Amino acid sequence: MYILEVIPLTAIPRNQDQILSYFYEEKLPAGALVEVEIRKRKITAVVLASKSLAELKIKLKKEADFELKPIGKILKEQPVLNQHQLNIALWLSVKYFAPLGLCVKAMLPAFLLKRSGEYASSAVRRRQVRRKEEAYSPDLSNQGQKLILTPEKIMAEHFLEKYKKENPVFLSSSTPTKEYFDIWQRVKNGEIKTIVGTRVALFLPFNNLKEIIVEAESNIAYRSDYTPKYDTGILARRTAKEYGAKLIINDSLPKVETYFEFGEETLPQKTKVDISFANMVGEIKNTNFSIFSAELKEQLKSAVQQKNKIIIFVPRKGYAPYLLCQNCGYIPRCPNCDRNLTAFKLTTYNLKPKTILKCHHCQNIQPTLNVCPNCNKSVLEYKGLGIEKAEEKLVKFFKDQNITSPKILALSSDTPQKEEEKIIDQFKNPGPAILLTTQKILSYQRLLKADLVGILNLESLLNFVDFGTEEEALRIVFILSQMTEKTLIQGYDSDARVVKTILSQDFKSFYEEELEARKEFSYPPFAELIKLIFRHQDSRTAEREAEIVRERLNHELGIKNYGKEIEIIGPNAGLKEKGLHTQEIVLKVVKNPIVEPSAHYGARRNELLRLVPSGWQIEVV
């Protein structure tokens, strides 16, 4: 008889035991798939360890205050996860304070939770085909496995071409099930040597992983949007350590944390670049009230004559970021999440434009307003610049200049995929073209080149209350400058740190100043930020709950004398979410990043987090 320690693949609150014990007549390997009963529910679980009952009998008699249950059913006796994968899941649960069952479940593709043999014939056929092809493939039998991570499928095209001599495969969450199963099996047996993939590829059962390359580490797509909400760059570091693999971090401009970790070698080399700044304050003084500077206007004219390609970057989607009452200052907000509603212009079936107000966060749509509901005045005006307004102004510019307009294309994250592909192809075709775009263009940083990139309204990238805002704005501008021979930035502050840095290319000074500021105010990499989020339909209930949790945490800090290590900020009211009122508490966990964190670091932090009730959301930033 054996005692099995199992991880149920369900969300058990983190202040409860994550590993449960059952008994079975035979020893099962770590990674086997079983069925257990929890509160009369049948739950799939993964075996973590099997221990002989004879070895544990004395200990159980002394300590057990519960009755062990038997395993209900053996679903898969052969391990579905290897020991490395189980170790990574355990680490994920501790690092991000996430339910262990969900961490394990995140690693398991859906097909592994199905009945055995469902995809076996497909895998066998594929392996037979591979054997026939072996004569035509390079001999990679003595090489270890290499994983190249990309944030999204579009970027993967470049690396599949780059490593084509190594016969790479591509894996993402949208890979068809049978193909996914085939890749999983061939990686497991060591047949596949080079994998290009999105973040899900980190969970593959590697046979001999020797190298991990993280491309574009700072891309927001690397942040998981489901539990566990992990950062792919951090997970890649842990995975490399687990397998003893070499780690390479590549980025246009590194994250501040990465610069701190690896130093100047992460920074780009200084090169001669043609980057200029057009101060729009001076343009207004010279009676140019257009959204285009005088220099950009000349470039637009010459694009037609010289058949140039121009990319115009507009930081905001839609027509205008918000609608403003000129009389009382009223701004329409989303009734569900309290964010400013963005104005969009739609073309109706009779080709007449129709303006709507849309929430970017929850996609709620409201009709536009002609009369202010606050003061009943008809003095509403669309404020700010969105990509649709920029397109409207561009068409008008060519019409006013009596110039035949080149192809004008618009690309944003709202563009359907098929239309997106068509737009990219049209821009690549011979002849002059102007591509208006938002941050979506960053996906094509290695695939598109232009004669000129114009950046409108730089300040729109800087108007965020976040310690990483300047870093991200600088990175966007730098990536855009790498896609062209000439870059023209338009803004209202020539003394902005981002402007000075991009013009001087003195990235080291920027990063050193950023580190100094973050150290002073205890931001990453000198501290870990943890957001505690509570939502309720009643604002007073949310406030009351947040105050109770804060007092509980403060009390614990005092008792354990953790005050010098952990700072509590808040609670503060956050934006509404799906009609629910939000309260947020932020924990700043101060750490010394120069040395490896001591063993009690994670234990103390998680000991405190165990006091947070299960109705709260915990996010490790």
DSSP for 525-536 reads TSEEEEEEEEEE
Residue 594 banded pLDDT, cuts 50, 70, 90: very low
Q: Could you tell me what percent of the chain has a pLDDT over 70?
A: 91
Average pLDDT score over residue span 64-92: 90
Q: Which residue has the tokens 């209350």?
A: 465
Higher pLDDT: 432 or 129? It is 432
Please provide the average confidence, as pLDDT, over all residues in the chain.
90
Asked whether the predicted pLDDT for residue 419 surpasses 80, the reply is: yes
Q: What is the Cα–Cα distance from 92 to 15, expressed in whole angstroms? A: 16
Residue 119 banded pLDDT, cuts 50, 70, 90: very low
Average pLDDT score over residue span 2-26: 93
Q: What is the Cα–Cα distance from 492 to 277, expressed in whole angstroms? A: 10
Counting DSSP H helices and E strands in the chain, the numbers are 17, 26
71 three-class SS:
coil
Asked whether the predicted pLDDT for residue 65 surpasses 90, the reply is: no
- Using one digit for the tens of pLDDT, what is the confidence trace for 538-575? 999 999 999 999 999 999 999 888 878 899 999 999 98
**Closest alpha carbon to 481 in 279, 267, 276:** 276
Q: What number of other Cβ atoms are within 10 A of residue 458's Cβ?
A: 24
Asked whether the predicted pLDDT for residue 123 surpasses 90, the reply is: no
407 three-class SS:
strand
Q: What is the Cα–Cα distance from 95 to 103, expressed in whole angstroms? A: 11
Residue 279, judged by CB atoms within 10 A of its CB (0-12, 13-18, 19+), counts as middle
- Using one digit for the tens of pLDDT, what is the confidence trace for 191-220? 999 999 999 999 999 999 999 999 999 999
Contact 601, 611 (CB under 8 A): no
Asked whether the predicted pLDDT for residue 117 surpasses 80, the reply is: no
- Using one digit for the tens of pLDDT, what is the confidence trace for 282-313? 999 999 999 999 999 999 998 888 989 999 99
Supply the pTM of this predicted model.
Answer: 0.90
Q: What is the Cα–Cα distance from 501 to 453, expressed in whole angstroms? A: 18
* The one-letter amino acid at 117: G
227 three-class SS:
coil
* The one-letter amino acid at 305: Q
